[in-house]
Amino acid sequence: MLHTPNSLSMKIAALQFSPPPPPLKNESENTTAHDACKASRGRFTLRIMCLLKLLTLFLFLCVGVQDANPLTWLPCTFSDYIMVVNNDGARDVQLLQRSSILQFGQPGDSPVNPHAVTFLVIESKLDLRHYVEDMESDRVACDIHRSNMEGVQVKWPSQKSHEYNSWFAVTLTHTEGLFTVSGVLRHPCEPPPSGQQDVRNWPAIVDSQTLITKVAVMMKTQTPTVTSGLGFQKKLHCQFAVDHKRPNVSVQWRQQYHGDRRILFSHASHSGQVEGRGVELSNLAGGDLSYTLPFTQVKHAGTYVCTVSAFPLSSSLDISLEIQESPQVSLNVGPTLTLQEGEEKKVICEAENYYPLDVHIVWYKQDPASSGQRVGAPLPKALDNILLSSHKSNMDNTYSLSGFFYLQASHRHSGRQFTCTVSHQSLRMPIKKSFILTVEEPTGWLFTLTVCSVLLILLTILYFMLRYLHQARKHSLQKKPY
């Protein structure tokens, strides 16, 4: 009989606070202190063992409670193709979005929703729930659609000789982008009348129908979206599994960007042929198809497609790699700028080496004394005379842009703080660079006249001294007899 946590606590308390049993009586009256100490150690060890057993039982009960409600079903969107007859009497294929249930169990289980199409996934060598374990069902989006084999019907290694297969692709996506799972479900069924499984001969599926399926191929990525700066090593996670041993599998990585398609890596198990690099070949046997970029560059941005093909099935996962490099912001003036009244200065805020293209530069002015106030402080005022340069493309495909204005020094602006704010999608908070303007009074005419007079006097004195030295040197040369 299993004990509740309350009963366990009572037993533990009883073990801790129950009085020790009475000492054993020996036939001999000369019991030594060593024997008494040994007996006491034995009773203490027994209590510790009982306590550990109860704690172990309690932990098993807790784990049992957690595992009592595993993931049993998921609501899904079923993309079905149906045949309709148009006004001209011709048959046409249309896509129909239907509600369905992805249910886990055994043949004969009652459907969760008897009014919806149920894909009952029964036990096989691949457990779909293992790929979405510890996830709540309301955070997993499920999509199912038919897989068109284009008339190709090949005996799957794990199917029985008389079985005919219908194939369905399933995609499970975490709503917060933690993972994406893609796979193929195999549904044993009766062959179509034409003997070919194409879109025009697929048997109709009614809303209350239950399709018993098994997982044939599974894929998972824990990096459906990756954001990286320049110069980093990034690993694009991709793992796969097939429901039979030693399958004839071909794997591939390709990159798609702005319409271009480039194969990065491929490997075929039957021939052992390898093209490209980035994947550890020793990990393929364990289903690890992860791709490593050793040094990220702008050209690496795009969609990476991880594909696993086990004829006639093919499954793939899309992984988006986005390059974001933060701008480097600088001003062409120091923390303080001193100008004279009426003087003009071109002030430049430079944002350099950022990616992608869009960046936002705004200049503000504010009284620095009010910037530290928490209540009642006036908001910084944006300058409206800002000019932007054209975008400059750098050698590493990053961009640079400058925002500048012409500052006309005025005494009323003295002490004002001017701040350049640069915003970019790679930044959590905008980058700010500031300087404080100091405006001085222009120099007076009397001071200028005094300085000029002093300079003129000094030059005159210097002239006469040089002339005197020249004449003295000439006179000394004339007195020499040689």
DSSP code string of 222-286: S-SEEEE-TT--EEE--EEEESSSS---EEEEEEEETTEEEEEEEEETTT--EEE-SS-GGGGGG
User: Which of 100-109, 308-317, 366-375 has the weakest average pLDDT?
Assistant: 366-375
Find, among 454, 220, 232, the residue nearest to 325 by Cα: 232
φ and ψ at residue 328, rounded to 5 degrees: -100, 120
Find, among 234, 230, 142, 124, the residue nearest to 179 by Cα: 142
Mean pLDDT over residues 52-67, rounded? 53
Distance CA 159, CA 302 (A): 39
* CATH dotted code for 73-323: 2.60.40.10
Rg, Å, the chain Cα set = 41
| pLDDT above 90 as % of the chain | 48
Predicted pLDDT of residue 32: 52
Distance CA 68, CA 46 (A): 33
Find, among 213, 64, 67, 68, the residue nearest to 126 by Cα: 213
> What is the rounded average pLDDT for all residues in the chain?
81
Q: Report pLDDT digits (tens) over 251-286.
A: 999 999 877 889 999 999 888 899 999 999 999 989
pLDDT-derived band at 13, boundaries 50, 70, 90:
very low
Q: Report pLDDT digits (tens) over 119-145.
A: 999 988 888 888 887 778 888 999 999
Residues β-bridged to residue 399: 354, 393
Is there a contact between 101 and 78 (Cβ–Cβ < 8 Å)? no
Q: Is the pLDDT of residue 193 over 60?
A: no
- Those residues whose C-beta lies under 8 Å from the C-beta of residue 465, and which sit 6 or more positions away, are none
Which uninterrupted H or E stretch holds 39?
A: helix 33-66
Taking phi over 0 as left and psi of -120 to 50 as alpha, with beta for the rest, 427 belongs to: beta
Amino acid at the residue 404:
F
pTM: 0.72
Angle between helices 5-17 and 33-66 (to 10 degrees): 170
Distance CA 148, CA 321 (A): 29
- Those residues whose C-beta lies under 8 Å from the C-beta of residue 49, and which sit 6 or more positions away, are none
3-state secondary structure 315-349: EEEEEEEEECECCEEEECCCCEEEEECCCEEEEEE
Distance CA 359, CA 352 (A): 10
| Residue 227 CB neighbours (<10 A) | 12
Whether 73-323 and 328-440 share one fold: the answer is yes
Q: Is the pLDDT of residue 11 over 60?
A: no
Token couple for 100: 């369905």
Structural domain boundaries in the chain? 5-20+33-66, 73-323, 328-440
Q: What's the CATH superfamily of 328-440? A: Immunoglobulins (2.60.40.10)
What percent of the residues of the chain are helix, what percent strand, and what percent coil, each to the nearest 5? Answer: 20, 40, 40
Predicted pLDDT of residue 58: 56
Q: Report pLDDT digits (tens) over 217-258.
A: 999 999 999 999 999 999 999 999 998 887 789 999 999 987
